[in-house]
Structure 1
């Protein structure tokens, strides 16, 4: 089992994004921060959408390898960090520096997260539920796109002049 946990440890160390699902819900691609042998994820108002993650006890985490394909799937315990606790003070500033396109400094961002009641959770893998390649199976894991108001029908291209056929 040590070889498999080595794969998990390496996947966590290199993780910048993880596919996380709660219960039977769909998996969401969430950016994350490796923290020792677990992952830290922020969600909430003004941040990434992760329905049910803040209230969950367990979640399913899928991680990719260097080649971009799925290499590890595991259940993880979910622990929501208290904004006044020592873990928040240690992890939130590190996570804030990794946040792309954030306005303000890391301290301002962590203060905004605490004020907006954003959920900073720590996902710790449960090794007994670990499934690594080649035991993942052949299923691609793809799904049809979910409905979203961001999808827009495209129109036919506009032509300024009439095109004559020869």
Structure 2
């Protein structure tokens, strides 16, 4: 904010490009990396040029995201491939604040497979300590030829949701010869 001759101008601290703006508007999934660690695929909701992400008990897992101030966000394009990676300023929205009262019901209403009404979901987030994080562009994005040429594919990481594969069900007894 600066003051010149009694006139106050708000300075927008958000760093963005048309590519980042368009990718954020269309985002439903983003890949978030905290502190140079592995990227986690998270569902997100675009809001005011930023992404809103919910993490915590009973929601998606993104270790370290709720406690950090910066992360790297990767978004895909219409073809399904990576089109831009940008540094993000992470802000955790706190229950009881005006930002929470505005954003949490919007995110809850868009939450897929939620049980019960959005108000109950928001109340559960507060009770269980879930984090609603705002990821806003905060640096120079990497796009086009700046992106890695290799695939960056990785083996699946261990997760609590992975189950052992069961043996196939056989309707009839199989005779051995």
Q: Same fold (TM over 0.5)?
A: yes
1:37-62: CA deviation from partner (whole Å, max 9, x where unpaired): 11110111111111110001111100
1:58-106: CA deviation from partner (whole Å, max 9, x where unpaired): 1110000011100010110111111111111111111011101111111
- Specify the SS of the correspondent of 1:47: coil
In structure 2, what is the equivalent of residue 84 of structure 1? 96
Query: Shift in Å at residue 162 of structure 1?
Result: 4.7
1:86-131: CA deviation from partner (whole Å, max 9, x where unpaired): 1111111110111011111111111111121111110111232x10
Q: Is the 8 A contact 1:80 1:120 kept in 2?
A: yes
Alpha-carbon distance in structure 2 between the residues aligned to 1:155 and 1:112: 38
Aligned residues: 161
Structure 1 segments unaligned to the other structure (5+ residues)? none
> Which shifted more, 48-57 or 106-115?
106-115
For 2:157, which of 146, 149, 157 is the aligned residue? Answer: 146
Scaled by the length of structure 2, the TM-score of the pair is 0.83
For 1:61, which of 55, 59, 73 is the aligned residue? Answer: 73
Scaled by the length of structure 1, the TM-score of the pair is 0.88
Structure 2 segments unaligned to the other structure (5+ residues)? 1-15
Q: Is the 8 A contact 1:5 1:127 kept in 2?
A: no
Structure 2 vs 1, CA of residues 159 and 6 (structure 1 numbering), >3 Å: closer, same or farther? same
Alpha-carbon distance in structure 2 between the residues aligned to 1:127 and 1:24: 16
In structure 2, what is the equivalent of residue 120 of structure 1? 132
